[in-house]
Amino acid sequence: MHRVIISGIGVEIPEPSITNEELVDSFNAWVEMENVRRQASGETLLQKSDSAFIVHASGVQTRHVIEREGILDPTRMAPRIPARPDDALSLEAEFGIASARKALDHAGVEPSDIDLVICSASHHQRPYPAIAIEMQQAMGTKGAGFDMGLGCSSAAAALHIAVNLVRAGAHRRVLVTTPEIITGHLNFRDRQTHFIFGDASVSMVVEGLAQGDKRPGRFEVLDTRTWTQMSNNIRTNLGYYTRTAQDDPYMINLEGNLIKQVGNKVFKEVTVAGHQFIVEFLAEHGLTPQAIRRFWLHQANARMNAMILKLSFGHEVGHDRAPMVLDRLGNTAGAGAVVALSENHADMNAGDYGLLCAFGAGYSIGGALLRML
């Protein structure tokens, strides 16, 4: 059994950003137009949104996106992402490669040193060819590649697989990449979810630790864990069979098929499950939350993270113990916890423990117990 480390981490954040105020102005302009139609037809009128509601509900102040003008156009309310020819690099592969190259540089390795690429994200641009295989060709990595996903736990689940493949000797060095272009699937006309998500891409290089190699400043992965439980409280129905349910299968109706969630149930149930997962996972290693120097949790909801940690510690903990990037990036699905890790580890000392933990639709939870070398 090999010791395994995360030798490189890379993060790519798109430059365009949208503030709460900008998003609310667009949403409310659409509501006004839609309510004129609804009033004429006798339908229930829609409620406007406001920035105070968004901050209270999520803690999000702003988010970065692949494309902002289409999102803010009240007659469209979706990013404008032009189609590319089949022989051109796809947007998801391009976004994944942007963070992957940074991770390779951080690890001090070349693409040819990688023998497996795992592209794990909550939403993939297409079913096949796999985005990971496209990245493999474009970057010049060796071996193989495959796509996978587990909602917002996608990066943690892929890390679980990569670590155990390296530990078992099946692969020498694995690139895990999570390019999250979640605004392409978001319903910006849904008051409950239009403000939650942003776009980001993260990558990690996972490899064995050679005997006698110290690798200071890197993290050894002591253990990983995944947990799932079926729930429809976070769901999307847009899939490969969507067209078959339509009267005209060549005119796809997106209504009701995009991301939807029952926010209050998600908050309560994931808070309980997340707390239980963390405490039990650490206990398997003879550790308590107090022994962990830093928690890099899924960046979905500031209040939920605070509650999970309060239940785990018995008291409130601050940004130093559990850093948040949610306020400026929004919920970047599988990428968020890795962004928090990338930005908040340089001050840790050798021997310090850290816990990467993400929660997602399914429900799903993925965790990795790390120790600074």
Instruction: List, for residues 296-325, the tens digit of each pLDDT value.
Output: 999 999 999 999 999 999 999 999 999 999
Whole-model pTM above 0.75?
yes
Q: Is 119 a catalytic residue?
A: no
Catalytic residue among 150, 152, 204, 372: 152
Distance of CA 67 to the CA centre of its chain: 18
- Cis check: omega of the bond before 82, within 30 degrees of 0: no
Element of type H or E holding 294:
strand 294-297
CA distance 30 to 38: 12
| Tens of pLDDT, residues 266-275 | 989 999 999 9
Is residue 253's pLDDT more than 90?
Answer: no
Number of H helices, E strands in the chain: 10, 13
Strands 116-120 and 173-180: parallel
